[in-house]
Amino acid sequence: MINKIWALFIGIGIIFTLLTGNIDELNNTILNSANSGVKMIMELIPIIVLWTGLMKIAEKSGLLQTISNFFRPFLKFLFPSLLKDSKALGYISSNIAANALGLGSAATPFGLKAMEEMQKENPQKDTASDAMITFLVLNTSGVTIIPTTVIALRMMYNSHNPEEIIVTAILATICSSIAGLTLDYLRRRKKK
C-alpha cells in the first residue's frame, strides 16, 4: 500500500508540475522537503521521549494495567484476536484516551507502542494483523471529544461560542467510528 501511495503522490506531483510549468518551485520543494521533515521529527522527538519515559513508570507500577482494565469490556469486544493480558490493550486505551481529550501529540507515542506490542503477537510480520487494522480505523476515525486545536483557533477568531462545535464533532465522530468499525468487522468476517 505505502509503495503505491508514495509513488502516486510523487509521480502525480512531479508530472503535473512539469506540465504546468513552475519548475523552479518544484526544485525548491524537492530540496526543502527533507528539511521540513526534520523539523517535524524534531518537534516529535521530545514528546515521544518524555511520554515513553513516563509511561514506563505507569507500566511498572501497574497503572497502565488499571487503565486498560477500565476499558477492558469495550476493548475485548473490539479486539477479539489480542491476548487477554496483552500489553497492547493498555497502550491502546491510553492512545484512545489521549486522542479523545484532544492531546493528539501525546497520543502518538502510545499508538506507536501499541503497534509494537501488537506486532509481537502478529504471526506474519510483514502483514497487518486484524487487531492493528481495527486499532487504526478506530484511531483515524477520530475519537476526539475535545478538539483543543480547533477550539483554540475559533477563540482566536473571536467566535461567540468556540465550544459549540464539540457537540457536532462528537455526533459526527460517532457516525464515522461506527461506520469504520462496521466495515472493518464485515471485512474481517468475510476473510474467514
Partner 1 sequence: MNTLSKIIIPLFVLIVIFHGLKKKVFIYDTFLEGAKEGLVTAFNIFPSIIAMVFAINIFLNSNILEVIFSVISPFLRVLKIPLEIIPMAFVRPISGTASLAIMNDIFSNFGPDSFVGRLASTIQGCTDTTIYVLALYFGRVKITKTRYALSTGLFADFIGIIASFIIVSIIFGTN
Residues 27-56 that bind partner 1 (CB under 8 A): 29-30, 32-34, 36-38, 40-41, 44-45, 48-56
CB of 180 closer than 8 Å to CB of 141: yes
CB of 48 to partner 1, least distance (A): 5
Size of residue set near partner 1 by CB under 8 A: 106
Task: Note whether 90 binds partner 1 by CB under 8 A.
Answer: no
Letters for 96-135 (x = contact with partner 1 by CB under 8 A, - = none) are: -----xxxx-x-xx-xxx-xx-xx--x-xxxxx---xx--
Per CB under 8 A, the list member of 23, 70, 74, 179 interacting with partner 1 is 179
Q: Which of 85, 178, 172, 192 minimizes the C-alpha distance to 130?
A: 192
Q: Which of 86, 143, 144, 142 minimizes the C-alpha distance to 115?
A: 86
Per CB under 8 A, the list member of 73, 77, 168, 192 interacting with partner 1 is 168
Q: Which of 71, 79, 76 minimizes the C-alpha distance to 99?
A: 71
CB of 16 to partner 1, least distance (A): 4
CB of 151 to partner 1, least distance (A): 6
User: Alpha carbon 132 to chain centroid distance?
Assistant: 11
CB of 72 to partner 1, least distance (A): 19
Q: Measure the CA–CA gap between 148 and 171, rounded to whole angstroms.
A: 17
Task: Note whether 9 binds partner 1 by CB under 8 A.
Answer: yes
CB of 94 to partner 1, least distance (A): 10
Residues numbered 70 to 89 that lie near partner 1 (CB under 8 A) are: none
CB of 175 to partner 1, least distance (A): 4
Q: Measure the CA–CA gap between 81 and 14, rounded to whole angstroms.
A: 42
Give burial (CB, 10 Å; 0-12/13-18/19+) of 52. middle
C-alpha cell belonging to residue 126: 510483514
Residues 6+ apart with CB under 8 A from 179: 141
Task: Note whether 177 binds partner 1 by CB under 8 A.
Answer: yes
